[in-house]
Chains A and B, each alone.
Chain A
């Protein structure tokens, strides 16, 4: 199962997050995350106060 991680379109670090977690980037502000990876990705976002939303793929 994968979900879409939705970032703010003004957050230009999306590419960096995608590279950091080896995620697929399907739009400028949408990354595809495997449910097994979601916990560490989300913890990273929360710890750094990065704004995000999650939508089921």
Chain B
């Protein structure tokens, strides 16, 4: 019986904090991917950089901070929604926002949300709900 190779997923981590970009990248590399394989992890420091990656690279999933300078996460979501190809990319919103209204707004985009700070269990649980691990 032929062995079907696991799908490799390329991830774009978008956060204006270099600490969080590096931490999320480190977390991704520490997760035990079983359903898929972790491919390349790209990093962007704001929405404009994220959009540039989305237009030029094959991105399977975005870990998206919401409050960033220049172009925030909500604007990235709006940009993606208007593009037929980009609207198919999976997004996980990750933010420390504390206004319930802002969090409900994200959920209305049908994207999972992780509130900062979070635990490894919550992070992996969301990835498993996405059937990535």
Contacts and interface: CB of A to CB of B under 8 A. Distances in A.
Interface of A: 3-4, 6-10, 29, 35, 38-40, 42-43, 45-47, 51-56
Contact of A56 (B107, B114, B121): B107
Q: Is the interface of A mostly helix, strand, loop or mixed?
A: mixed
A53 B107 contact: no
A45 B114 CA distance: 12
Interface residues of B, number: 23
Contacts of B111: 56
Contacts of B108: 35
A53 B117 contact: no
B104 interface: yes
A51 B126 contact: no
B125 to A, nearest CB: 5
B121 A10 contact: yes
A39 B72 CA distance: 22
A46 B115 contact: yes
Contacts of A39: 100-101, 104
Interface in B18-40: none
Given A7-B122, A46-B98, A53 B104 contact: no
Contacts of B104: 35, 38-39, 42
Contacts of A56: 107, 110-112
Nearest to A30: B125
Given A3-B107, A40-B100, A42-B103, A55 B117 contact: no
Contacts of B100: 38-40, 42-43, 46
Given A54-B103, A55-B129, A45 B121 contact: no
A17 to B, nearest CB: 14
A55 B112 contact: yes
B119 A8 contact: yes
